[in-house]
Amino acid sequence: MGEILCLNAGSSSLKFAVFASVPVARRIVAGQIEDIGLEPHLILRDAEGATIAEQRWPEANKATHETLLVTLLDQIEEQFARELVAVGHRVVHGGSDFTAPVRIDSDVLSRLDALCPLAPLHQSHNLSAVRTIMAARPGLPQIACFDTAFHHGQPAVATRLALPRVLTAAGMRRYGFHGISYEYIARRLGELDPRFGGRVIVAHLGNGASLCAMQNGRSVDTTMGFTALDGLVMGTRCGALDPGAVLFLLQEKNMIPDAVEHLLYNESGLLGVSGLSSDMRVLLDSDAPFAREAIELFVWQIARQASALIASLGGLDGLVFTAGIGENAPAIRSLVGQRLGWLGLEIDEKANDRGDPVISAPSSRVTVRVIPTDEERMIAFHTAERIGCARTMAKN
Ligand code: AMP
């Protein structure tokens, strides 16, 4: 019995959701604090997604990540969670050691700290939230769920980088990310289609974007690699890039490593190519030629990299779109479908425009679905499981 708080702590945002632990993962409330460091702003939503409260902290300098999290924790315990039994965290990197959710103690925390350089945009923020809760509620169990864990069972060849063995032995390998989302989709697919077991590509297209090739619900290959910078064109990240381009920036453009990092993580991708925005809605609404080019490149890379994953799978039976763009942008789904027409994949444009759960035509050789992801529910489920109260996951 009791409630579970799920946290996804980023550099300027803190997303959260509260779930009942029995039945496991019934959502009670969710929300986010945005613009931490500027003018923090809290939005609370009920289980149906309707906004139920908003709050602002105009004196930003007094509202740090820590004070905001403790205020939120107090508020949640007062209003929504009479008996908070555990906190589940999204932790981006579990390295080679953490292949499943784990209860966090000081030893686990220091091993996760060592992985911060592998996910510079996320890991340290994820772990700061763990520390804040350890200090504020010392006895409260905290569980880490990793974005890398779902990919752990991939064949070794899919994880190898063609670097000298001394480096690969030191942890330089392809890990893959968005694993919490992919695990949730794999479970949903299993529920939706009992025949599921075929070769499926899941396209997680949000601000961060990647593809996962799955067989029998397990990850076989994925587009993100050593870091979450690899693979598809993203909102502000460049995706796959000739490593020689990085050398060029360092040696010929005399950029320092921190500036290259900022360029590749924050100024590239859809934002860099369009010169306009990282937000797909803005690009789809724009007539600017560079916005068109950014969309064209986004779609081109999805189709190109999906085709490589089809080789890893030896064919394709299903394609799933998920996350902000995948769930809400029929124009992008349609363009990707056209580029993958060589597979015998056909989109039913009316079903696609309606956002139906299945958007492929009956004659399509590949079943194409839209499945909303729910990383928080997956985290709640694992957290309940780790503290011993999960059996089955509620559907809403
Ligand atoms: P996420 O990271 O999953 O929250 O996804 C964020 C991305 O989804 C942004 O690029 C948004 O522009 C995009 N997105 C959200 N809603 C829509 C929509 N209705 N149409 C097109 N893109 C959308």
CATH code of residue 308: 3.30.420.40
Identified catalytic residue from 35, 46, 74, 147:
147
* Model pLDDT, residue 79: 87
Give yes or no: residues 242 and 364 share one domain.
yes
Q: Classify residue 188: in a domain, yes or no.
A: no
d(CA 118, CA 128): 16
* Model pLDDT, residue 390: 58
| Ligand 1 centroid, distance to 235 Cα (angstroms) | 10
Q: Classify residue 309: in a domain, yes or no.
A: yes
| Secondary structure element (H or E) that encloses residue 95, with its range | none
Ligand 1 atom, smallest distance to 207 CA: 2
| Ligand 1 centroid, distance to 17 Cα (angstroms) | 20
* Model pLDDT, residue 90: 96
CA distances from 295 to 30, 332, 346 (A): 31, 8, 20
Closest residue by CA, ligand 1 atom 20: 329
| Ligand 1 centroid, distance to 324 Cα (angstroms) | 4
Q: Classify residue 12: in a domain, yes or no.
A: yes
Q: Which residues line ligand 1 (CB under 6 A)?
A: 206-207, 235, 279-281, 284, 323-325, 328-329
* pTM over cut 0.75: yes
| Ligand 1 centroid, distance to 209 Cα (angstroms) | 11
Amino acid at position 383, single letter: T
The boundaries of the domain holding residue 219 are 194-370
Q: Classify residue 209: in a domain, yes or no.
A: yes
For residues 5-42, one letter each, b for 16 or more C-beta atoms within 10 angstroms of the residue's C-beta and e for the rest, the string is: bbbbbbeebbbbbbbbbeebbbbbbbbbbbebeeebbb
Give yes or no: residues 74 and 214 share one domain.
no
Closest residue by CA, ligand 1 atom 23: 325
Give yes or no: residues 277 and 358 share one domain.
yes
* Model pLDDT, residue 377: 94
Longest dimension (CA), the chain: 60
Give yes or no: residues 306 and 205 share one domain.
yes
| Final residue of a structural domain among 113, 146, 179 | 146
Give yes or no: residues 139 and 256 share one domain.
no
At CA 98, angle to CA 208 and CA 104, rounded to 5? 95
| Ligand 1 centroid, distance to 327 Cα (angstroms) | 8
**C-alpha 25: how far from its chain's center?**
19
Q: Per-residue pLDDT for the chain (396 aa), expressed as one digit of tens each?
A: 789 999 999 888 899 999 988 766 789 999 999 888 888 899 999 888 899 889 888 765 667 888 899 999 999 999 888 889 999 999 999 999 999 999 999 999 999 999 998 887 789 999 999 999 999 999 999 999 999 999 999 999 999 999 999 999 989 999 999 999 999 999 999 999 876 669 999 999 999 999 999 999 999 999 999 999 999 999 999 999 999 999 999 999 999 999 999 999 999 999 999 999 999 999 999 999 999 999 999 999 999 999 999 999 999 999 999 999 999 999 999 999 999 999 999 999 999 999 999 999 999 999 999 999 999 999 999 999 999 875 556 555
Give yes or no: residues 247 and 139 share one domain.
no
Cα end-to-end distance, the chain, whole Å = 18
DSSP collapsed to 3 states, 240-293: CCCHHHHHHHHHCCCCCHHHHHHHHHHCCHHHHHHCCCCCHHHHHHCCCHHHHH
> Is residue 354 a contact partner of residue 348, using CB atoms and an 8 Å limit?
no
Tell me the best of 147, 180, 207 to mutate to test the pocket of ligand 1, counting ligand atoms within 8 Å of each CB and taking the most: 207
Give yes or no: residues 279 and 130 share one domain.
no
Give yes or no: residues 96 and 205 share one domain.
no
* Model pLDDT, residue 82: 80
Give yes or no: residues 205 and 321 share one domain.
yes
> Is residue 274 a contact partner of residue 293, using CB atoms and an 8 Å limit?
yes
d(CA 347, CA 260): 39
Q: Classify residue 385: in a domain, yes or no.
A: no
d(CA 83, CA 184): 26
In DSSP notation, 5-20 reads EEEEE-SS-EEEEEEE
Q: Classify residue 389: in a domain, yes or no.
A: no
Give yes or no: residues 218 and 142 share one domain.
no
Amino acid at position 105, single letter: D
Q: What is the number of domains present in the chain?
A: 2
Helix/strand number for the chain, H first, E second? 15, 13
- CB neighbours (10 Å) of residue 110? 10
What tokens does 280 get?
């797909």
Give yes or no: 147 in active site: yes
* Model pLDDT, residue 102: 97
> Is residue 262 a contact partner of residue 226, using CB atoms and an 8 Å limit?
no
Q: Classify residue 83: in a domain, yes or no.
A: yes
Q: Classify residue 259: in a domain, yes or no.
A: yes
Give yes or no: residues 136 and 198 share one domain.
no
Closest residue by CA, ligand 1 atom 17: 328
Amino acid at position 345, single letter: L
In DSSP notation, 154-200 reads S-HHHH--SS-HHHHHTT-S-----HHHHHHHHHHHHHH-TT--SEE
Place of tokens 């949903």: 188
Give yes or no: residues 302 and 358 share one domain.
yes
* Model pLDDT, residue 120: 79
